[in-house]
Every structure is written in structure tokens, then in C-alpha cells.
Structure 1
Amino acid sequence: MPVIGYGTYETSPEITQKVVAEALKSGYRQIDTAAFYNNEAGCGLAIAQSGIPRGEIFVTTKLAPNKMGNEATAAAVEDSLRELGLKYIDLYLIHAPFGNPEARNGSWTALAQAVVDGKVKSIGVSNYGLHHLDELQRHRATLPSSLKDIPISVAQYELHPWMPRPDIVTYAAKNSIVLQAFGPLALGKKSTDLTLQSLAKKHNKTWAQILLRWSL
């Protein structure tokens, strides 16, 4: 998985294809979308028309909140593949721990099966609390061997110096889960922070470069 990716949250369907195409031209090789964003199709078109071999582009998408549960999630994977126009998805995340434990666990089981079936390469979660992660670990232990060994590959959270989440960071490290930050630039809201500005001046970098280096 590329260390830095291009996110498409709040990118309208009308401009998604254009901006993702520009991102790919600029060198991005990870594209992050979600069913909830309603822009998977634009991402897929940009990828298809980029001329870049599919194996060089890492595509992440996420389960919509209203698709929790085993059967709904299995159908959602098919929907995402169709919208993206892809034969497989590199990373599929449960977007957030919506629903009850049965629904969340059912969604994980369906995603694990999608990995076995070759529709998805790896799976993970986003916005899960520690108790949700523990719940998922207990559920994984009950699965058949073919599904039990499929790991929680990635956990995605808003992560930056003003939201460092030390509890999640520690948990992920102990459980060999890769942490992925969304909003690593704090949505630009801290660009004038005095400490950040001081560091940017000290190292002759932009404030955004300082924040990206913090994440890396």
C-alpha cells in the first residue's frame, strides 16, 4: 500500500474523474473512495483511462452505513466492483461501527469471504473504538479456519498532532494493524498554529509538509 494516498471525501461525482485523473498524473498511486461518497464510478473511470497498469494502483473503498450485515455487505462488495469497474479491490474497509454487534460481525464475515473469493485483497475498519476492535477480534476467533486467518490489515482514523489517538496507536502496534490517517492536514484548520509555523520556518518547509512528515 502506498504510504501517501489521494482521498475523495466530499468530492462531487461531477468532478471526481477529473481530479483523480490529475492525482494519478501527479504520481499518486493510492486512491481512497467510499460507497457513501457516491463517487466510486468517477474514480474507476479515471483509473481505467489513466494508462497505468492496474497492479500499480491501490484502490480503497468502504462499506456504506446502511449496508451492515452479512448479506447486505456481500451485495455491497459487488456494487462497488461494478461502480469502480474493477475485477478486485485492494482494500475494503467497514466505514464505521454502525449497527449492532451481529451486523458488524456479519459484515466482517462477508468481507473475509470476499477475500477468499478473490474479490478483495485486504480488509480493515475505520472509526472503530477500542471496544469495537476487541469485539471484532473475538468474532474473528469464532470463524472457520479459512476466514479466521484473514487479518485486520488496516485501521483508518483521523490522525494528526491535535488528534494523536495514543490508545488506538498502541493497540494497532500490538496487534500488527497498519494505521492509516485521514485528514492528516487537520483539514487546513491548523495552518496558522504558531508551533506549526515555527517548525515550518525552522526546516524551510510548508506547514503541510511538516504535518505529513509527522504522520510518516
Structure 2
Amino acid sequence: MGAAGRDFHNFNVAFRDDLAYEVVAFTAAQIPGISGRRYPAALAGERYPDGIAILDESDLAEICRERSVDEVVFAYSDVEHALVMHEASIALAAGADFALLGPARTMLSSRLPVMAICAVRTGVGKSQTARWLAQLLKKRGLRVAVIRHPMPYGDLERQAVQRFASFGDLDVAACTIEEREEYEPHIRAGNTVFAGVDYARVLALAEMEADIIVWDGGNNDFSFVRPDLQIVLVDP
């Protein structure tokens, strides 16, 4: 269960190559236009030559029954506890287990130092803090790569690994207004932003150009890359 971000990452790092699992579908919420598509075979791996269906979250109970689902993994953020447990109840009533994957299983390791900016909710100021931190690090002579929480709203295969260093890069990638709102301030500040769908590859590209990684988080999710220092913003 996801919203075209954490769900894809969890699949890539925890399930794609695990022969003990067969992922029968993703479900989509929050982001319009995601359901009805497929997670492409080029990203899903050789075990999924036809890719993986992305279905509407409202059909969760039917999906579980029709496809004999054993486990439902909840994998998106910025929702209330009550909603999470409501979805858990639907999965359990359909006979499936319900799970959340934690940092130990889903965080990638980097060969570089990593500083992660996360928060308790959307809108606290993560990106502003990430930009401030990047400027501070650059003043110390460090090459900084900013890795942004995913926003893959277009062609998932084309967006597997993205690098934005200029406004022209945004044009070439046909970024949406929402994506531009996140990327343009970084570019204006002189930062190179890395994002995409396959974050192992995103991280590998960022490491080639940097001395240190700054993770610019999304919603109230935790980092996809294991941080050496994590800064969590709160808004009482």
C-alpha cells in the first residue's frame, strides 16, 4: 500500500529479489493518476516480466480475497494513526497479515557521511532546513549532494534515476508543478538534487559527485539512506 514513493522503495530493497515473496500488486493513494498503471518490468526485476499492477487502495479487500494475499505492507506517510489501523482492519478481515517495514530493513548504506532532515509532519520546513544545511556545508568546502524523497508522478522507468542541476534539467524531465516547487529552490541555491524511483542507483550516482549526502525528506517519513546525523523538525 503506498503513494508512489515509500512503497516502491520498500519493494526494491526488501521484496524484489526475495524468492520467499511474490508481490501481486501495489495500491495507490494520495497521488492522482497513479492507479491503473503498472510498476514497469525494468524496475520490478526479472521475476516480474510483466511488471506489477498498481490498483486503487479502495479495492484493498477485493484484491486480498481475489489474489489470496498473505500479507499487506503499509508504505506511505503523513496519515493519522486511525487511518492506518482502519486499513489494517480491512486487511485482517480479508485474511491477510498487516505489516510496516522499519529503518533496519529498508535504509540503504552509503560510503559517504549522511545527514538526514526529517519531520513530524508535512510543512514544518524540511526543505528550507536542508537548503540551509547544504549551504553551510559548502562554505566548509564540501561537495554536497541533496537526495530528495521521491516524487515520481510521470513515466516511472524514465524517472528511475534523476539528477537536477539546472532549470533546463527540469524541462527535459517534464517535471510537474509540484516537483518544481521542491526542486527549483535547491537549484536556485546552487544545489544538485538527486531523486527517482530506484534509490540504490540514485545513491550510487550522488556518491560519485559528492563528499557528503543531505537527505531532504518528505512528509513524516524516515530517510531511505541510513544517516550519521538525523535532524527531526517538530512543530508544537
Same fold (TM over 0.5): no
TM-score (norm 2): 0.28
Normalized per residue, which structure has more helix?
1
Where relative contact order (Cα < 8 A, 6+ residues apart) is larger, the structure is: 2
TM-score (norm 1): 0.30
